[in-house]
Structure 1
Amino acid sequence: MDKIKENPVDFFRKKFLKLQRITNNIDAGIATISYNKLLTISYANDGFFKLFGFSHEEFASKIKNKFTSIVFKDDLPLLLNKLSQIQSTSEEIKIELRAYKKDNSIFWLLIKGHCIKLNETEKQFLFVFVDITETKKVQQELKIAKTHYKIIAEQCDNILFEYLIPNDTMIYSSKYINITGNKPVIRKFKETILKSDYIYKDDIKIFLSLIEEILSGKNFVSADLRIKSKAGTYIWIKIQATTIFDFNNKPVKSIGKVLNIDKEKKEYFNLKLETQLDPLTKLYNKTVSKSLIDDYLTTQDIKTTHAFMIIDIDNFKSVNDNLGHIFGDSVLSKIALNIKKPFNNYDIIGRIGGDEFIIFLKNVSCLDYIYEKATSICNIFKNTYTGENKTHKISCSIGISLYPNHGNNYDELLKKADYALYKAKQHGKDCFEIYTEGIIYNDQFKKDNLVNSNISTINSSLDNTLKDNLIDSKLDISFTSKDKLLSVSDMQNVFEVITSIDPLTGLMNLSKFEVVANNLLNNNLQKNKYALIYSDFNKFKYINDNLGYAIGNELLIKFSNLLSDSLEKDELLCRPSSDNFITLIKYNGIKNFKNRLASFNEKFIKIQKQDFNNLKLSVISGICLISSYNNNLYSIIDKANMARKTIKDSHKSQYAFYDKKLHIQSTKEKKIESLMVTALENKEFLVYLQPKVELLTKKTVGAEALVRWLRPNKTLIAPGEFIPLFEKNGFIIELDFYVYEEIFKTIRRWIDEDKNIFPISVNVSRAHINDNSFIYRLNKLIEKYKIPTNLIELELTENICFNNMDNVINQIIKLKLLGFSFSIDDFGSGYSSLNLLKDIPIDVLKLDKSFFPSNNINKKEKIIVSNIVNMAKDLDILVLSEGIETQEQIDFLTNIGCNLVQGYYFAKPMPIEEFEKIYGIKSNDS
């Protein structure tokens, strides 16, 4: 009753004040706005003024309650237009616009409300104002991110994707169309893919497993498989995906990328294949042969028969001893090429030793088949060309065992076949024997197949084109008529020329040269002095790679013509291979001999200027003066070649004589080579570690792996005596991998035994950089011992980079991507050090010990070393100084900021066991 009696004005004033108190406590702006030209604000709460930064009084005096004054001018038409269209009080109004604060800064507003008064003369609105600036920023960032994502997706070589799990829908980026030719959105993804041939059939299980992992909620998945490309061929891809979960921890989306790894995968398989093959013959090596045969036999029924053959070359030592190892290797290569011909692709053929081969014949139906194949092999060996005079003719002996009669695995079959081989050797050569089956000789194949062949058959197989080519060639062969069939004597002339002449230059080949040179030296050496010259071009590969093979061939022809024109009576010339030439010339005094060489060199320089645009190609020659002759021409060739190799990297034309010093070295090297394989098998090579010390803390922070050779008689062979030889003959690859395995084994043990773990640096030779299987083999060792690659530093010597810099850089980049670090050893000992720093991404620079030749460091040495250290710092490369032995050297290097040192001042190289005793136990603060 009191309320009814109360003055209505007072009643509504109280209600208004109560409403004001309520609205002022709301954390948002609230205001009523009249729809007129100025959008006058008739009421606003504290939140509204706080939002804009004004007080009530400031807003009334400065803004005059005009809402239009604080709306961003570009957004005002949108607001006015929206308000003009409102025709009902029930219609919700929602507008996003920009406005000014008191300090004139611009921010985003969300205005929501309704029309609260609507008649013919007046419209009034009640609005809530919310600052959405942060929301707008996030929206803008999302928009930018989406644009960024789209640009990346379009520019990236990879395919990006989103897999919407609940809908089973896959959405790819646009690159998907370019690679596959398919639409980028695939609904019912799993079903669609399985119904098509999109996935390579052998990889379907991998695909299903991948989908299962995603659906099961695995956070990250990855798989390699093959998909069908736009061209219709299958290519290798890598799929990597991360799963996104909802609030209930259910997988809702998987996002990721598809990488085209076809090139890398195929390179990997090629590398893997190369590691399975014997490098000389390209047949399977011993390890792979055993593995393939054992794997195959585990799946075989004992009712099926297979044959195992072991083949040994008769008299092969005589070939190597008398004709040289180079010639012996060529014989093995030729045999390997021919031995595959009589067999099926699925038969297994391997080389298991120097001159031993194995053949595994699958699914043998009868003994006659084995006899036929063994006979074919014997013929191949008998007909292998080993010198024109046939002095060192070879044959083979074969031992054969059968599965399952004589064994169920490789080792058992090898043992029985080897016994059969032994029996065959006892009964003579050029024969084969099956285990317990008796000997079968090949007498029926001793006649010359060519002479006994049907001549008409031979002639009918020679078409007119071949006849024309033979008759019109430069070779000195004549026929009575192009239309007449070739006679036996014609055929013999043809084959004589084809097998004796180098087709490019017309010079004798090595086999013909051997015969003629033998006769010449045997008949003329008493009245004339002779010298054999082995020559080749330095970096001839550059000519072929950069100027083309046509230019390379033209150069070889010009050079051979120049040599031919310079020959006198009873002098010889041949081209054994590639850019190699062998000359046999007379001389009557060293001075005259050298003058003749100089004259020839001047003529060749002139040809390069006139005919090859002043090409500067150097000729490197090794010379052996022949004082006596015992019908061993290849021994003389080897000596000349050895002399050539001592100067092979020369940048100008040079020659070197084989002398007593080289003879001693050659004898020593042959002895070492005869011991090296057995020494590696017997673990005579010992791995030493020399500590690397951080100068600032004087703590040991790593080590370098070095190798020593301890003979059974306790004689220690210094690295300088065998490492250069191993680098030359390629054995360094096997020795280095022996060292790598010992080091990886050691680091694995340190990790397992919780000892101090040090990064170890190991040497990488030129042979490794040029070996396509190096990265594959190294990575397999890392996987075997599970060693973090950041614990291995690969040391390159300066001279490793002189040839084929692009290949060096390419290999280094691949290895760095795997996590290995690199150092340049002996920095400063060569002539291209600065180029190395510019071109190669190395981590550590090892200063050669030649910078510290004595205990005292002179002024020039200090200047050079200081500047190298400063330069390395600018390049973000660590510097390690080798050969440090004195306190003066330590003080100097510390002052100039050298990072690491290595040398006798701190420790000599020591066996691994000794290194562990000193540095292996963890201290309390380690």
Structure 2
Amino acid sequence: MKKDDEKNFLSGLKTQDKMSILLKSAGMTAFEYLLKEDQMIYYNAHLKVDREMPGFLKKLEASSGIHPEDVWKVREFLQGRLRGPVEVRLREGESYKRVQMDALPVEGDGEKIAGCLKDVTEDRKREEILEEQAKRDSLTGLYNNFTGKSLINEYLTQKNPYTSCGFLVMDLDYFKNVNDTYGHLFGDEVLSTFAGFLRTFFEKKDILVRAGGDEFVVLMKDISHEALAKKMGQLIKTIRKIEFSRPGFSITSSIGICYLAENVSGYTYEQLFENADWALYQAKIQGRDRYVFCDNLRRFEMAAPSNLEKFPEIDQRYLHNDAVATAFEIFEKTTTFDAAIELLMKVVALRYQLDRITVVQTDIRSKMVERSYQWRSEYVPEVLENTDSFTKEDFYTLFRSYDEYGTTVLQQDNMKMYSEQARNLLMQGGAKTVLYAAMYSEGSYVGAISYVACQRERYWSKQERKQIGEVTKIITAHLMKNRVLNRMPGSSFSVPDYDSLTGTISFARFREEVERIIVGGYAGPYCMVYTDFMGFKYFNQKYGYRSGDQVLKEFANYIMETIQDSSRTYFCRVVADQFLAFLPHHKPEDSCARIEELNEEFVRRMQERFPDSRLRLRSGVYPIDKECLGASTAIDAANYARRQVEETSSRRVVYYDTALKGQQQMENEIINGIDKAIAGHQFQVYYQPKISLNDHRIIGAEALVRWIRPDGSILRPDSFIPLYEKNGRVIDLDFYVFEQVTAFIRKNQDMGRQMVPVSVNVSALHARDTDAVAQYQAILERYGVNPDRLQMELTETATVLNYENVRRLFSDFQKAGFATSLDDFGAGFSILNLITDVPLNVVKLDYIFINKCEQNERGIYFLNQMIDMLHGLGFRTICEGAETDRQVKILTEVGCDAIQGNWFSVPVPAEKFEEMLYISKK
């Protein structure tokens, strides 16, 4: 039915019909009000009279249960002077529920109102909850920065002149080390727990804000100076006692405080924050874990520079708008780089009350510095008129002092860590405070920009340092581009414009252009796409490098020709057969489908020219979001997504979504957390018994590592061993596990127990080190354990891929008295043609082997013959992964010596294994 038809249909219904339609909506009650009689009639769900209330308006205020403030709404509504819907509050017990009144048109003389009441209490509660959630930081539950700032400014504007308050800025000492050492998951736990503590410590009337990262703001209302100081002493002490899930872990905090006494007003959030942040900085200088009061609230006042008349060329907006946006606008609108840099330095100097700004180019190899650009006020001298030198030690001192924003602040009276030569270089020209902001090109340090105050020492807040760091990045990007365009020969800033093979822009220029777009917030709906050819080396081997280069050229031409909006797209070759594209991005499924379509079409074209080539393209796609820090972040994420495409996978384009981000973060935590995990004994050894098929006794065990994380979660080896195999740290883990097993054997020897042999997994990476066996022996000698108590296991695949080295390693183990075992036999590459030459004692059949062989009589016959052959070569046989009675029966019948699997026991902790072993022997 059309809308107009529906309207006509309703208007033709009688009042009762209309109310019947309304009552189909849950929670509605129909009513009629008769104006002449002043009578209210309520109907039930069947449109029968439920209750009549004569003299309704007369009794409205006295007995209706309507909130006194809403009585006028009901009166005006029923008398036709207020149109619906109208929301009123009705008493329900000790509280009120919210009800919405609305009316339907009634045919007649206008002496009757028909309508409905709908309970909207729950709807309003949900809306209030959602509104409150939008004001809160998602991790900590405290007010977010925007809301907190608004609430505090509102309080300051309306502050009672007879009340006083305290303004706190606090952060957690060395919090960056928490994330670096324990990972961001535990870091989030610390922030969440700390926020929970703040809610219990402060009063409900106080305003608690997470300003960002580990920085918090608190406004304490109606508190005297004496009470505030006492409260701060309690706060510092109590923070040290906060308990976390990680035993023994504790935190401290540094706090900067502003106190607004009675009759003090006119301050804003921004002014108080700057003053309290200055006090926070003093607390850190004094050693952290303490609080400091701001000594003068007029230290930071939001006054405009007084000498603006000297700079009529400066747009007033530049002094008040966001500093980063201003820098982008100046470079965008100014015709030449030299004019832009000169104008920007003037603007920055006025905004931050500086006396000199110098762009300093650094050549680390020659240990020389020279200036590129300089702005100074008329009262201070020029500096770095000639090149100057520095020492390696002084450079490292400066470089290591840069913070997370790429800045470091030097004060004239605190330069003892530098040599006299460096002090003269870093603080020349009458400088009292210098902020150095690092410049990087292609990931390499190429210099710094010095922001200098000469008239008095200057404090730099965290927010200001962050802004200066971003402005410096923008200057650096444009400086690099300017030097490339002007082709300055011999300069360390010089980078090529184009890739010599494909003709695309160079990787360096690609990164600069993309960095400018992302950092400037101009990215919009963009995505980064990282693409390469799978197994391209085999193509080169088969068709030659000349043909390979031609394919790469044609792929670059194909992409550039296919891209519709080339003005908004950047494309380059990274290296070899790897390419990057920065493209407009809409829906994830559309982007992935489009990229896959492009890749498949190019492969199809190449297949016609090289029929046997089997060329395959794979791509990773990363959407640019607000959290993206820059080009490097986007490239790394897209590259990570690309690497998730496996050889056998049918999916050739992977989208970097929330799940993949979590996976990458977990991998980073695993990779970076190994040293802490080993030192804290988070890696624990589990033992899976080996069972004799002759009498079902425990005759041995395999040591299997588990990572027991601080939050109680357990990671299995397949989540971290492959990562440690890639970065080589599996060697350290192998030695750690071996030492834990050796200590376990020694402990039981000292208790007079006869230990069964334990097999320990050995990475094939040990085969590259001729001293590996000696290191294992040294561990045994330290604990006084004989090597015959241990078996050293390598997988069949690792043995085949590293045959000569592994063969030597096995031989060295046997010469040293160890037994050797071949793991996962039958699961991967076949070693049948080599097995007679490998020094082995035990062959372990993989669970895949028994699963396949048990399916029919031919499989069982093959298994029988295989075990007979292995016995004939002098090897003992174990089948791992045995889980059913049928499998155990078959393995017994075919003569297998032992089994290892869940049929008897899953891997168990050492204490449980001891219990199983010694109970079974009694």
Provide TM-score, normalisation by structure 1: 0.43
**Higher Cα radius of gyration:** 1
TM-score, normalised by the number of residues in structure 2:
0.43
